[in-house]
Amino acid sequence: MQPLSGLLVLDFTTLLPGPLASLMLAEAGAEVIKIERPGGEDMREFSPEWDGESAAFALLNRGKAGLTVDLKKPEDRAKLDELLQRADILIEQFRPGVMDRLGLGYETLHARYPRLIYCSISGYGQQGPRADEAGHDINYVGNTGLLDLQPGPIDHPVVPPALVADIAGGTFPAVINILLALRARDQSGEGAHLDIAMTDAMFTFAWYALALGQARGAFPKPGELTLVGGSPRYQLYRTKDGRLIACGALEDKFWLSFCRVIGLDDTFIDDARNPAATKAAVAARIAERTAEEWRPLFAAADCCATIVEPLARAVRDPHFVKRGLFAHGVESQNGSVMPALPVPIAPIFRDQIRLNKKAPPKPRG
């Protein structure tokens, strides 16, 4: 028996934050019904196509059932009545007020279904001056000061490689608070309205910058923090063949070992004296050898220095394969199988049979 077996989730969300949240709930045993407009949600059209459907959509919606509903039509909304009577969780990702206008807002549904846990995911939350403002991940990390901590060189700013606001600000808080709400419902018998704003958690990620700013009265400038480029000990260095070394030798024991491995001149080991000079000296030493020449040396030293791996190689790493991250699959409607998206649900809570699970078929009409 999985921990969420017997629970029904109605998923009104699209794209990434909500669908990933409901995927995690499904992986823990919940029944998830994805509510889509006629023709399907936008992500069904995302490339690349895989066996006649979107690979991205298939990864995020594995194991869910599908239901086509035109929410603007009262007769179509009536299809939801029976489901709402037995639903435990509803997840929606519209702008604030949309569900209210459709007659599916929290207050309306709470009056009829008081045990329903209603989770709203939005960029800026249900109230506040920015509540109705459009945005995407880059806007959320930009508006909260997080991106400014390390935007990259002034003449070549870098777009972040991870959708931190969508996943760490939307998906994960949604799942955490849904589980908390289930526990609270066990005690009180009442559901709750969860207001998840993707921007809120971005301040959590700026924890150290906030501590510095509040303690000394001045917030750090871009690239100044130790863990965002300000220290030679926590840095990316380019090898002779253009690969990158990820150095995380923060503690003295790791730093001294790292310096010995690369043969750093004693003049630069005390990096507090002149961090920029030490950084330049380390970069010069790293550039003398290729990534594969450095690999065994760093592995033997165990000094928190590793080669930055491309994703194609990382997914074949024996460690991640051994941990079973890609051991189960998502199946297309035609029977093709590709590895399912790994999600951070502990194996003891997941489907131990590891059956392939399909994404919902494309809605018709």
Told to judge if 166 belongs to the known catalytic residues of this protein, a careful annotator would answer: yes
pLDDT at 62: 94
pLDDT at 361: 86
90 near 12, Cβ under 8 Å? yes
Told to judge if 266 belongs to the known catalytic residues of this protein, a careful annotator would answer: no
pLDDT at 1: 83
110 near 32, Cβ under 8 Å? no
pLDDT at 353: 52
Cis peptide before 48 (omega within 30 of 0): yes
**Biggest alpha carbon distance in the chain?**
78
Check 88, 166, 195, 271 and give the catalytic one: 166
Cα distances (angstroms) measured from residue 85 to each of 109, 111, 201? 10, 12, 32
Task: Tell me which residues of the chain have a pLDDT lower than 70.
Answer: 351-355, 364-365
* Tens digit of each residue's pLDDT (9 = 90 or more) over 19-61: 999 999 999 999 999 999 999 999 999 999 999 999 999 999 9
Against a cut of 0.75, is the pTM above it? yes
State the alpha helices, DSSP H only, in 217-290. 252-262, 275-286
pLDDT at 101: 96
Chain centroid to CA 206: 16
pLDDT at 96: 97
Check 51, 76, 136, 148 and give the catalytic one: 136
**Domains of the chain listed by start with CATH number:** 8-203+325-358 (3.40.50.10540), 226-238+244-307 (3.30.1540.10)
Burial 10-33 (b: 16+ CB within 10 A, else e): bbbbbbbbbbbbbbbbbbbbbbbb
pLDDT at 190: 97
